[in-house]
Amino acid sequence: MQIFRLNVYITMVLFFMATAFPIEAIAKHIIGGDMTYEYVSDVGANSRRWRFTMKVYRDCFGGGAPFDTDASISIFRGNTQSNVLQEAFYVNYNDFTRLIPDTPQCVTKIPTNVCVEEAVYVFERTLPITVSGQSYFIVYQRCCRNESITNIINPGSVGATYAVELTYEAQVAKNDSPRFKNFPPLIICNNLPLDFDHSATDADGDLLLYEFCAPYVGGGNITQGPALFSCDGAKPDPSCGPPFDIIPFAVPVYTPDKPMGGNPVVAINQTTGFINGTPLLLGQFVVGVCVSEFRNGQLLSTIRREFQFNVADCQPDVFTKIETDSSTLVAEQYLIKSCGSNTVEFTNLSGQQQFITSFRWEFDMKDSIATNSSVWSPTFTFPDTGLYSGRLILNPSGGSCSDTADIAVRIFPEVNADFSYAYDTCVAGPVVFTDLSTSEAGVKSWFWDFGVPGSPTSSEQNPSYLYDIPGQHPVTLFVVDANICSDAVTKTINYVPAPPIIVIRPDSYLGCYPARIFFDNLSKPIDETYDIKWTFGDGGDTGGVISPTHTYTEQGVYDVSVAITSPIGCMISDTFFNLIRVEPRPVADFTFSPESGLTTFNNIVDFTDKSKDAAFWNWQIGNDFTTIQQNPTYTFTDTGLTSVRLIVTHREGCKDSLTKTLDIRPEVRWYMPNAFTPNADSKNDGFQGKGYLEGAVGFRMAIWSRWGELVFETDNPDDAWNGRVRNTGGNAPPGVYVYVVSFTGPRGEPHEYKGYVTLVR
């Protein structure tokens, strides 16, 4: 078949025309590269000359730097963890080529912007043979990669390292490293099979093993100044030695061995080097391939190549495709299987039909060849069971737009699924299923679905199943025989036995009347089609309710009975003696002393419990105080209405409560002297009252002489009369004066104090 090679080139046409992957975003600079070596000659007794070939690939329309004419090559001696720089030098490429792809079939227009350039650097070096365990590392590093890469993090800042390790064993053996035969296609098609030969050749005939591996990082995105040539610059000079970091894959979707993600993944064959699979994710993916060379079980070298796969949506113009039982091809054949029927209808899904002028189906019927060139999706009848081969040929006259699909048809005997079942229809128990399925090839697997959503299934041949739910249960048996032929059968079981035992669970076994108790019926199997009769021991009963609620209104101990009758008349009953006990409910009550006259200055209250059948007490006084004392005493620190709640609890947990309100009246007090001596001796020099005025408003004190003259007035209870007229005029004469003090109390009550004061000088 030509579909795989054709898909690649058709993809190249469609991919670069698609707006999802404009060429400017696909490749700005490096696409891939690798480095190999070959033995040239001995130089003296302890040195050998080697030829190294480095290939670097770039997108010639992608922008970025051109190929280096002074590529900085560094040679390190040591191991992957500890090494020294042997020498550093510059090389120019020996060969520079623009790669031109073959003209794909059935494509009349090739895009002019498909362009990949290859630069080949060849250089020789004479190197002394190292000691055992030491290698040479030949290194070239350059930045940077495409911004549009899908499978690595921050790709525009990640450079590349192309290096090869010349091991001590390879030096001694005068080894030539493997060389890759083909450079991978730049673009491949999504959802179309990929089959690419990425194998290598080896002049020495050594054993080669292949694997996907992680490409190395090299350099960074610094493009100016002296740092340009550092290990973090775009052009390290000299290149930096091992150990090398690997590129940061966007895990967990992408990893070195799964660089393109998907499930199943695109994989490389360990022994052939073929990359096979069907890409399932669109994007641009960096891929690393390592080929390891073994001789007599000893590893001589590992060659590492890096490249990019661009996966795009595309369709070839002409391709063969046939609807099958499987989406995969085996040995490039479409596999068609028929179980129990020799007549097979083939569905032709080939495309594109506008390019298909003729077609031919042909099948080898053992003693003849059956053909059909007129029906797009024909039907063929095969003579017997067995294996038959055939082909679908598009444009069989040949030319650039033909394609062929090989077909293998396997006709198998039919398989018939069947089973029987048995169970006790009166008393609930497991249903026993017996497989009765038949097949000439022999039934090899069974799958039972017992018809209850979310219930377990079974793969036993003859399982049993205990239903929790009664009713009509559709049971399905699916069988597969040795030919992978299958059949299924469904039978409905009317499962309505009585429960083997009665199980009930009240939400409470003990309560205070009126006790409202829910009885949870846990008996199985039952539903609304069963006749259920309850008696609760207090004269109350109910029928038809699976799990009822009943209220007990009197104290006592009660038996509960349940009778269950199935839809076909099977009955079971049981009595649960002394199941429910109902106690009297407590009654909350209390008194307090004093009962009246509570004020700011009379604020200590004694509470006395008067409750009945109480075992525990919980007092809630106001918002901030609680106590579990039976008879507490409390000092009120604030005035006003305060609620006092008593919650009492019966020894069985029943509760009652009572709330009363206490009024703590705010109280003001005021006292006036009857004489004062304003003689500046700091003793009794001023006239003012004393007392407690918390919450009072509208204070006013006025003082008059006996002739009715106002000598002092204030609205501040802290102000005193100093014996002078209005406290600033001349001295008032000694004698008797009249005063009036008034204010409004915290609850609006008026207060007035009148009297006489004697001014003594």
Q: What is the pLDDT of residues 617-652, one digit of tens each?
A: 999 998 889 999 999 999 998 888 999 999 999 887
pLDDT of residue 111: 47
Same domain as 738, residue 712: yes
Same domain as 649, residue 554: no
Same domain as 151, residue 95: yes
Transcribe 333-360 into DSSP letters. EEEEEEES-SEEEPPB--B-GGG---EE
pLDDT of residue 430: 95
Residue 35 CA to residue 48 CA, distance in Å, equals 19
**What residues have CB less than 8 Å from 655, skipping those under 6 apart?**
586, 647, 648, 649
Same domain as 116, residue 48: yes
Q: How many structural domains is the chain composed of?
A: 6
Residue 26 dihedral angles phi and psi, to the nearest 5°: -80, -50
Percent of the chain with pLDDT over 90: 66
Same domain as 699, residue 640: no
- Domain presence at residue 322: no
CATH classification at residue 389: 2.60.40.10
Same domain as 691, residue 602: no
pLDDT of residue 326: 52
**What residues have CB less than 8 Å from 739, skipping those under 6 apart?**
672, 687, 701, 702, 703, 704, 753, 754, 755, 756, 757
CATH classification at residue 695: 2.60.40
Domain boundary among 583, 607, 626: 583
Domain boundary among 392, 412, 432: 412
- For 115-128, what is the mean pLDDT? 92
pLDDT confidence tier of residue 27, bands split at 50, 70 and 90: very low
- For 378-383, what is the mean pLDDT? 94
- Domain presence at residue 318: no
Phi-psi map region of 243: left, alpha, beta (phi>0 left; psi -120 to 50 alpha): beta
pLDDT confidence tier of residue 225, bands split at 50, 70 and 90: confident
Same domain as 58, residue 133: yes
Same domain as 200, residue 59: yes
- Domain presence at residue 627: yes
Same domain as 204, residue 79: yes
- Domain presence at residue 326: no
- Domain presence at residue 23: yes
Same domain as 726, residue 620: no
**What residues have CB less than 8 Å from 621, skipping those under 6 apart?**
627, 632, 634, 642, 644
Residue 725 CA to residue 713 CA, distance in Å, equals 10
Residue 155 CA to residue 144 CA, distance in Å, equals 8
Tokens 């609890």 belong to which residue?
649
Per-residue pLDDT at 110 exceeds 60: no
Per-residue pLDDT at 8 exceeds 70: no
pLDDT, tens only, 536-577? 999 888 878 999 999 999 989 999 999 999 999 999 999 999
Same domain as 230, residue 114: yes
Same domain as 682, residue 659: no
- Domain presence at residue 425: yes
Domain boundary among 549, 583, 617: 583
pTM strictly above 0.85 = no
- Domain presence at residue 321: no
Per-residue pLDDT at 664 exceeds 60: yes
pLDDT of residue 727: 92
- Domain presence at residue 328: no
Top-confidence residue, 674 or 513: 674
Range of the domain at 680: 669-759
